[in-house]
Amino acid sequence: MRRCLWLAVLLAGATAVALVPGTGQEQPPILRHSSLVTLVGDWGFEFNPGRLVVLADEGPITGFAFGPGRAEVAYCAPVGERGERGLWVVAAAFPEAEPGPSFPRTSARPRLLWTAPEGVTLRGPVWWAPDGSRIAVRAVGDRARGVVAVDYGSGDAAWLCEGNDVGDLVWGPRGKRIAYVTREETGRVVWVQSVPPIEARRLGDGGFNVRWSLDGHSLRWLRPKSEGLWVEATWDAATGEVSEANPQPARPDGAVWSPDGRFCATLEPSSESEEGRVVIYPASGTVGETVPLPYVQPKRLLGWSPDERLLMVLGDMDFPVAVGARPMAERIRLMMEAAGQRSEERVTICGYPIDAAAGPPSWSSGCDMLAYVTAARLDDRLGGPADAGPPNASLVATAARRHHIDPIPPSQVESQLVLSNMKNVALALQMYLADNNDVFPPSEGSEEAWWILDEYVRDRSLFMRPGTEDDMVVEYLVPPGIRLVEVDDIVTMPVAVVDYHPDFYVLAYGDGHVMMHPKHGEYWEEWEGWWREFWEKRAEQMGQSGQ
């Protein structure tokens, strides 16, 4: 069942809905929403698979990354037909016209920066220096292993970390030093080395959450201290000393830290099901926030966006999934509920299945593009006809748009809550009618009617003014004994009203829909006049029948 829901979300992904109050006049949309939009605090992130270009398809591609402050991607791919591998750079340029049956290639030509010598394989990852002057890439060969730093302009290469199996690397802020982590029999080890290369210096064990200070004068990382406890180690570049401070709980394997080191995301087993759950902790905190993952069966974490608002997760069938790393703003959540939408829009499918072995998705510095290597397409995996997606094993870039959601006045938030409450009241009345032969509740007043509907609502706060416990504002309008068959037009039949706000009133109608109306003149005539005409017409029909 979960798999079916997952596919339904994907196939419905291109649908967009404008959430607006149900007024009788045209109003600007509060929020543009679709299943391709992730809500993060006051921001909406939109991923558009239709806005996608192929950057390279001369695979296999074994590492790639966007450059700092530029729309260029460096990647490792074969050179010619002899099997050598090289480091390439290509610009991500989107065509102006809409894509046709197949996805277009970028208009820029790839540039070969460096070709690995015979017997050396470039495996990635790819790490750019902060100023874009050099690109480092992991290299493994029969006689050499380590990291190669290639000059972006000249293509000159220098070996760093020679003889080491490097698992992670962090450039210093000025691009003059690197810190890297190696995996040895005793565990992870942290090193530092200058660029151009001189002899590397071993700093100590650990190597989790490695980060430089903004001035490059110190380096911090986490190291195990005892079972279940880590400490933060700090290396001072001026004195060469390493100190320890800030004990904190150990994190499970696969945990990923935000770029500034303030948050840690983990994938943990769920107590309610066999599926995992994403939990985001403050870096040194023990209490984290669990992010709901509707329809997603997470496999592993893939990293953070540069602005730390999104966390990438590898989902079921290898779909990349964007998870909002900040809680949805309260007013946005209220608006979504008022419009009858789910409030789990912190999770979004970002495009086509990815080849995670080629590397995690890479963000551009401005968070407006996402690059990844595609894997087998969904239709191929299900045994159906091929779709119009990009070819397998291609390096592609997709556009990601950010929308800031303007602040909503408190009065508007309350109006959305009233709409939400009234919608639930109208639905409860529909369920009551279905269980009682389409006869409305036999009540003489609002309070009596709402007691009758108690079993159909989650709690009695639906009938109260938002933020209060006993200020009942929903007024029931249907006289006792009315049968649905007696009503000619249930779409215009008013069944409940909220009329305490000076600027608007809210009506629920017989067919279950709800509308907000601005107050003007004798506005109450809309519901009182409807019932007056109903009784006049009923009396006329009874007179004609001789009753």
Residue 510 CA to residue 293 CA, distance in Å, equals 36
Residue 533 falls in which region: left (phi positive, over 0), alpha (psi -120 to 50) or beta: alpha
Residue 373 CA to residue 356 CA, distance in Å, equals 8
Return the minimum-mean-pLDDT range out of 85-99, 163-177, 247-261: 85-99
Looking at every residue in the chain, the average pLDDT score rounds to: 82
362-363/369-373 β-pairing: antiparallel
Other beta carbons less than 10 A from residue 204's beta carbon: 15
pLDDT digits (tens, 9 = 90+) for 335-354: 666 555 555 577 887 778 89
Model pLDDT, residue 130 = 94
The more confident residue out of 316 and 73 is 73
- Model confidence at 68, pLDDT cuts 50, 70, 90, reads very high
3 state SS of 13: coil
Residue 547 CA to residue 330 CA, distance in Å, equals 57
DSSP secondary structure letter of residue 294: T
pLDDT digits (tens, 9 = 90+) for 402-449: 777 766 666 777 787 888 888 888 888 989 988 988 888 887 777 788
Selection from 546, 374, 337 nearest residue 458 by Cα: 337
The more confident residue out of 444 and 473 is 473
Tell me the sheet residues that pair with 370: 363, 398
Model pLDDT, residue 49 = 58
Burial of 357 (0-12, 13-18, 19+ CB in 10 A): exposed
Helix pair angle (410-435, 330-338), 10° resolution: 30
Residue 372 CA to residue 375 CA, distance in Å, equals 10
Residue 137 falls in which region: left (phi positive, over 0), alpha (psi -120 to 50) or beta: beta
Residue 381 pLDDT > 90: no
Task: Output the pTM of the full model.
Answer: 0.71
Residue 203 pLDDT > 60: yes
Residue 60 CA to residue 79 CA, distance in Å, equals 11
**Do 70 and 92 contact (CB within 8 A), yes or no?**
no
- Model confidence at 29, pLDDT cuts 50, 70, 90, reads very low
- Average pLDDT on 304-333 reads 85
What six digits make up the tokens of 540? 């006329």
Name the strand (E) or helix (H) holding 336. Answer: helix 330-338
Model pLDDT, residue 337 = 62
Residue 332 CA to residue 434 CA, distance in Å, equals 33
- Residue 92, CA distances (Å) to 109, 322, 353, 361, 392 in order: 10, 21, 20, 15, 18
- Model confidence at 137, pLDDT cuts 50, 70, 90, reads very high
Residue 362 CA to residue 107 CA, distance in Å, equals 20
Percent of the residues in the chain that have a pLDDT greater than 90, as a whole number: 33
Name 491's Cβ contacts closer than 8 Å, sequence gap at least 6. 509, 510, 511, 513
3 state SS of 218: strand
**Do 373 and 76 contact (CB within 8 A), yes or no?**
no
Residue 274 pLDDT > 60: no
Residue 222 CA to residue 205 CA, distance in Å, equals 9
Tell me the sheet residues that pair with 283: none
**Cis preceding-peptide flag for 60 (omega within 30 of 0):** yes
Model pLDDT, residue 31 = 38
Name the strand (E) or helix (H) holding 112. Answer: strand 111-115
- Model confidence at 30, pLDDT cuts 50, 70, 90, reads very low
Residue 197 pLDDT > 50: yes
Tell me the sheet residues that pair with 138: 147
How far from the centroid of its chain's Cα atoms is residue 26's Cα? 30
Other beta carbons less than 10 A from residue 362's beta carbon: 25
Residue 150 pLDDT > 80: yes
Residue 196 CA to residue 160 CA, distance in Å, equals 9
Model pLDDT, residue 97 = 60
**Cis preceding-peptide flag for 196 (omega within 30 of 0):** yes
Residue 314 pLDDT > 70: yes
Tell me the sheet residues that pair with 455: none
Model pLDDT, residue 6 = 34
**Cis preceding-peptide flag for 409 (omega within 30 of 0):** no
